[in-house]
Amino acid sequence: MSALLEVSDLEVAYGPSQVLFGLNFSLADGEAATLLGRNGMGKTTTLRAICGLEPVKAGRIRFAGEDIAGWRPDRIGRAGIALVPEGRQCFPNLTVDEHLVAFFANRRQRSAAWTPARVYELFPRLLERKKNLGNQLSGGEQQMLAIGRALVTNPRLLILDEATEGLAPLIRDEIWACLARLRSEGQSVLVIDKYVEKLIGLADRHTIIERGHVVWQGSSAQLDADHGIWHRYLGI
Ligand SMILES: Nc1ncnc2c1ncn2[C@@H]1O[C@H](COP(=O)(O)OP(=O)(O)OP(=O)(O)O)[C@@H](O)[C@H]1O
């Protein structure tokens, strides 16, 4: 499998405060990968830099053969990266259906493209809430909408930042089931989440970040076999 995303020597700073110090990791086409680490270690910053939401101080981000560091977020979106952001960020004054219709695009002419109708089939609760505004949805429904909104852009890479955060266990399971299905359909995914056991079942490869440095990389089998790593780097 060829690399779909390749992050090399990535450095990002907020003003004088540098938070990423030369990160290296990659993700193959069709692969599911995670970024792990304790709070404040630089995971969200990494995702935001990939999506063009934070400027890159140094290093390279290659996506589908192009250097995308420095591109604007909308261009990166059109190139095929979709972010499900921390906190969902649904529009309070758009209905569920308006979100999905507004974001729908099938730029790569996929035969089995994600359409609003397919999102409603994936998340029947959203169909029930079709006419509700973003601010009239529960946290779980907002999360489903944030995922649906990303899917209808038909991304080559779907990125999820803490998609199960703050959700009730049953809703969380629904999100995990959705990710497992996407995975089985060959969708490339990059995920940040706290539930390491779930991520081991879902993803192929993991990168652990500590204070802006990669401190461990390996497969699900390797991570599963060494709980010392969980303890040392994740505080579990
Ligand atoms: N907009 C910002 N301005 C200044 N510092 C920031 C900003 N956003 C994040 N930081 C700092 O950058 C560091 C990395 O934060 P980041 O959100 O990337 O970590 P994280 O690993 O995703 O943690 P969390 O799980 O808490 O989101 C932290 O020290 C944080 O305080």
| 108 band by pLDDT with thresholds 50, 70 and 90 | confident
47 Cα nearest atom in ligand 1: 18
Q: Which residue's alpha carbon is at the smallest distance from atom 29 of ligand 1?
A: 40
How far, CA to CA in Å, does 144 sit from each of 74, 120, 126, 159, 231?
A: 22, 10, 7, 14, 31
Contact residues of ligand 1, CB 6 A cut-off: 14, 17, 19, 37, 39-45
Average pLDDT over residues 50-54: 97
Residues in the chain, overall count? 236
Per the DSSP assignment, residues forming a β-bridge with 99 are none
Q: Which residue's alpha carbon is at the smallest distance from atom 6 of ligand 1?
A: 14
- CA–centroid distance for 117 within its chain: 22
**How many Å lie between the centroid of ligand 1 and the Cα of residue 49?**
12
Give a yes or no: residue 100 inside a domain.
yes
Give residue 214's identity as a one-letter amino acid code: V
Distance CA 27, CA 164 (A): 22
Distance CA 29, CA 53 (A): 23
Count structural domains, the chain: 1
Average pLDDT over residues 72-92: 95
Distance CA 9, CA 26 (A): 11
Give a yes or no: residue 136 inside a domain.
yes
Give a yes or no: residue 198 inside a domain.
yes
Give a yes or no: residue 37 inside a domain.
yes
**How many Å lie between the centroid of ligand 1 and the Cα of residue 44?**
7
Give a yes or no: residue 126 inside a domain.
yes
Pocket test for ligand 1, best of 43, 53, 191, 234 (most atoms within 8 A of CB): 43
pLDDT of residue 112: 86
Average pLDDT over residues 214-232: 96
Give residue 126's identity as a one-letter amino acid code: L
pLDDT of residue 210: 97
Whether pLDDT at 233 is above 90: yes
Give a yes or no: residue 23 inside a domain.
no
Distance CA 23, CA 34 (A): 14
Q: Which residue's alpha carbon is at the smallest distance from atom 30 of ligand 1?
A: 40
Indicate which CATH number applies to the domain containing 200. Answer: 3.40.50.300
pLDDT of residue 1: 57
Helix (H, G, I), strand (E, B) or coil at 185: coil
Give a yes or no: residue 8 inside a domain.
no
Cα–Cα nearest to 120, from 96, 92, 155: 96
Q: pLDDT for 139-186, tens place per residue?
A: 999 999 999 999 999 999 999 999 999 999 999 999 999 999 999 999
Range of the domain at 102: 30-49+80-234
Give a yes or no: residue 21 inside a domain.
no
Average pLDDT over residues 99-122: 92
Interface predicted TM-score (ipTM) over 0.85: yes
